[in-house]
Amino acid sequence: MNLKDVKAVKELLSVPQKIAIIPHKNPDGDAIGSTLALWHYLKNRGQEATIVSPNDYPKFLKWMPGNEHILNFETKNSQALSAINEATLIFTLDFNHFGRTGQLAPILEASKAKYIMIDHHQSPADYAEITYSDVAMSSTCEMVYNFIEFLGDTDKVTSEMANCIYTGIMTDTGSFKFHATTSQTHRIVADLIDKGAEKTAIHNHIYDTNSPSRLHLLGCALKNMVILEEFRTAYITLSQEELDAYNYQKGDTEGFVNYGLTLEGISFAVIFIENKEEGIIKISFRSQGDFSVNEFARSHFNGGGHDNAAGGRSEVSMEKTAKYFVSLLKDYKDKLIA
């Protein structure tokens, strides 16, 4: 954010506002961590603020302080709708265009509120009065910390906020190892620990709450993995039938896609997950090195994301989707084996 933006934010927050805070659909650790941290900060400044999530999210994120105040648009519809419709100021966090909020998109589109976007995805849409967009950032959580710093308030970061921000940085950086993790990320994380982030407990909450059925589903996914050495690619399919057989719960497939990248010589990993209810195959793409999965997802699977982590969807059967995917690879061979 430049000085002009910082001044504009200070002015907006110098008077009482009705604030709505919105993460993307299927919110992850960064989306929930960043919205909750900002919510605590704004409440502590005396502002009225409400988080509206477009839909539900995994149980392993629900321990975060303030979680019980998040309104799920699907289950608390009228309250959520009022919070958005009455808002004078709306923060949108961890996404780059309204389309990423699913059913909330037309409601946000129609709102007369002022918008502040805080996000690290490529190609931010131009709807906000203040756009704090930085694709080099590890996470939106790191940006929320910066946002508070721009306002001169890091001394007001509480242990609740520190726990939320730490969580999002940890989940979006693959526990501090992805490319976008900088020395500055670590400085911020160090400060968060000083301010009360409980690092061991956070790791346990996120990574050590497996159910036996999730581990069995992982076994099924790994068995289904197809390795295409000539394209340095590995992909996994999970059908609705398989998900049902292992009592799939939201969040159970989180992280499965990364296993492909742990194979020596593999730089492109994909998982296709059938969702019969929505009539789609949800796809996650991951890469190591220069191959941009953001471009790949945008060009062929109606999606997007970051250079090394993106998502998309397909509306044809699993078999056709996988076949189509494999047929695309020959056009990318040079980039994949570079």
Identity of the residue, 196 or 255, whose beta carbon is nearer to ligand 5GP in the bound complex: 255
Binding region for Mn ion (CB under 5 A) out of 64-72, 86-94, 237-245, 326-334: 86-94
- Residue number with the smallest Cβ distance to Mn ion: 30
Q: Which does 160 bind (CB under 5 to 8 A by kind): Mn ion, ligand 5GP, none?
A: none
Alpha carbons 89 and 21: distance in angstroms, whole number = 9
Looking only at residues 72 through 111 of this chain, which bind ligand 5GP when binding is defined by CB under 6 A? none
Minimum separation from the CB atom of position 167 to Mn ion (A): 12
**Which x/- pattern over 279-298 shows residues binding ligand 5GP (rule: CB under 6 A)?**
-----x--------------
Q: Which does 30 bind (CB under 5 to 8 A by kind): ligand 5GP, Mn ion, none?
A: Mn ion
From the list 53, 309, 314, 336, which residue makes contact with ligand 5GP (rule: CB under 6 A)?
309
Binding region for Mn ion (CB under 5 A) out of 167-175, 208-216, 252-260, 294-302: 167-175
- Using CA of residue 122, residue 311, residue 186, residue 33, what is the dihedral sign? positive
Looking only at residues 251 through 280 of this chain, which bind Mn ion when binding is defined by CB under 5 A? none
Minimum separation from the CB atom of position 2 to ligand 5GP (A): 25
Kindly determine how many residues on this chain lie close enough to bind ligand 5GP according to the rule CB under 6 A: 10
Taking CB under 5 A as the rule, does residue 160 contact Mn ion? no
From the list 89, 94, 252, 293, which residue makes contact with Mn ion (rule: CB under 5 A)?
94
**Which x/- pattern over 206-235 shows residues binding Mn ion (rule: CB under 5 A)?**
------------------------------
Binding site for ligand 5GP (CB under 6 A): 284, 303-306, 309-313
